[in-house]
Amino acid sequence: MSTEEESQRDFLEKYQEEAEKIGRFNLAIFGKTGTGKSTLINAVFGEEVAPTGIGEPVTQSNHLYLHRAGFFGLIDTRGLEIGTGTDQIIAELGRYLADMRTKPLAEQVHVAWYCVRASDRRFEDTEAEFVRRLHSLDLPVVLVLTQVASRDGQFHEDALALADHIASLDLPIDGGRPIMVMAKSDEFTSQVEHGLGELLDATFRVAPEGAQAALIASQQIDLARKWKSAQVAIGVASSGAGLIGATPIPIADAALIVPTQLALMARISAIYGIPKETAGMSAIVATSVATAAGRGAVTGLLKLIPGAGSIIGGAISATTAAAFTAAMGYAWATVCGQISQGKFAGVNGALDAKAMKKVFESELLAWAKKLGKKKKADASG
Ligand SMILES: Nc1nc2c(ncn2[C@@H]2O[C@H](COP(=O)(O)OP(=O)(O)OP(=O)(O)O)[C@@H](O)[C@H]2O)c(=O)[nH]1
Ligand SMILES: [Mg+2]
């Protein structure tokens, strides 16, 4: 096995480890047929999660299904209607939740979304009852008013009236009010997307602490949250890299910090919710760039970082090692952000490695410059 192959294997091992730590965010979704549940899930968690398959039945009576996709799990109902089927749905769900309670947090159901279509202009007593019973199972409930029409940033007055009516019922829902959403724009009726961020914020508010990382990884609309988590990981790794380089290391041995950088990139991949299937391709790209950089093929790049003086002396300092690692982390987070937005999509679901590598290299250069400038400013300021 070549060093590069070994590095890729290490990367994937580390990714797997991080993915296991992050676990899974499990959402239960309810609402009448056609309210827009699948559309909503697609908009927030990405197309791959769309429950196209039937999923696996999680109760013996086969009315609850779990769809797993990476860091996300979706529980939905088949063959029973809210109202006539409420007792049975709640009974099955109750049994399932009880079974899961003895399992790790990643197996438990964390949040429920109850969806009501705004254009239906009504919210039935049986629906209110259903929401109360979800709550009595200790599930935090977010109530979503779907397909809410808007014009110039104003919601349709019927939707507002419906929201007011629901709010007046004093239901055990987050914020006491429904979240108004249009999950998908519609050109014909000039409807624009809105409310997804608010829905996600509400979900973060009620999700248990231990499920937050999986929610950050699985959602696809709030890149700032992913970036923030990546920043924390970068801080940890770059101070570690600084320690390794505490005594200046010969430039030829810059490869010593490569494992730290690869571990960091594996971690960032998991934070961004890069699925297992794509992690392999990203491992190849990450490794090829990191090892080339470590070998000193990009001494030009290292020169951009403070401590350049010590490079001239044939060694890199602790500060340089730290800044270099941080640049690697930020550049990779940028690449992962783009992957999560569907960039680099090549043929049959594979990633376009060439394009990824190009972006990674140019980002690495840009971040090295940026961090270099910052360090210089810090030193003189
Ligand atoms: N433009 C637009 N169309 C939507 C939106 N939500 C739902 N739709 C449309 O409404 C129809 C039903 O949406 P689905 O997401 O399939 O509804 P569902 O709740 O999953 O339905 P079931 O799986 O049958 O229970 C589809 O034709 C969607 O395209 C939205 O936010 N905007
Ligand atoms: Mg559906």
Judge whether residue 286 has pLDDT over 70.
Answer: yes
Which amino acid makes up residue 322?
A: A
Q: Do 82 and 47 fall into the same domain?
A: yes
Cβ proximity of 193 and 183 under 8 Å:
yes
Asked which of 170, 190, 217 is the last residue of a domain, the reply is 217
Which amino acid makes up residue 376?
A: K
pLDDT value at residue 115: 98
Which range of 134-138, 285-289, 296-300 scores highest in mean pLDDT? It is 134-138
Q: Which two tokens stand for residue 176?
A: 């006491």
Cα of 35 from ligand 1 centre, angstroms: 6
Asked which of 186, 217, 248 is the last residue of a domain, the reply is 217
Assigned domain for 15 exists:
no
pLDDT value at residue 297: 46
CA 360 – CA 367 distance, rounded (Å) = 10
Residues 6+ apart with CB under 8 A from 45: 69, 72, 74, 218, 219, 220
Confidence of residue 173 (pLDDT cuts 50, 70, 90): very high
Judge whether residue 261 has pLDDT over 60.
Answer: yes
CA dihedral (204, 115, 179, 222) positive or negative: positive
HSE-CB at 275 with a 13 A cutoff on CA atoms is 19
Assigned domain for 16 exists:
no
pLDDT value at residue 205: 97
pLDDT value at residue 227: 98
Q: Which two tokens stand for residue 232?
A: 């924390």
Q: Do 117 and 257 fall into the same domain?
A: no
Domain that holds residue 227: 222-380
Judge whether residue 3 has pLDDT over 80.
Answer: no
Q: Do 211 and 62 fall into the same domain?
A: yes
Q: Is 117 in the pocket of ligand 1 (CB under 6 A)?
A: no
Write down the mean pLDDT value for the chain.
Answer: 87
Residues of the chain above pLDDT 90, percent: 63
Strands 150-151 and 154-155: antiparallel
Q: Provide the domain count of the chain.
A: 2
pLDDT value at residue 35: 94
Cα of 95 from ligand 2 centre, angstroms: 23
Assigned domain for 8 exists:
no
Asked which of 171, 191, 217 is the last residue of a domain, the reply is 217
Cα of 144 from ligand 2 centre, angstroms: 15
Q: Which of the listed residues 39, 192, 193 should we mutate to test ligand 1's pocket, taking the one with most ligand atoms within 8 A of CB?
A: 39
Judge whether residue 352 has pLDDT over 80.
Answer: yes
Q: Computed over its alpha carbons, how large is the radius of gyration of the chain?
A: 24
In the block, tokens 């705004």 appear at: 118
Residues 6+ apart with CB under 8 A from 235: none
* pTM of the predicted structure, to 2 decimals: 0.90
Q: Which atom of ligand 1 is nearest to the CA of 191?
A: 1
Cα of 337 from ligand 1 centre, angstroms: 27
Q: Which of the listed residues 27, 32, 33, 38 should we mutate to test ligand 1's pocket, taking the one with most ligand atoms within 8 A of CB?
A: 38
Assigned domain for 212 exists:
yes
pLDDT value at residue 62: 76
Strands 25-31 and 111-117: parallel
Q: Which two tokens stand for residue 363?
A: 């980002």
Q: Is 60 in the pocket of ligand 1 (CB under 6 A)?
A: no
Q: Which atom of ligand 1 is nearest to the CA of 147?
A: 31
pLDDT value at residue 7: 86
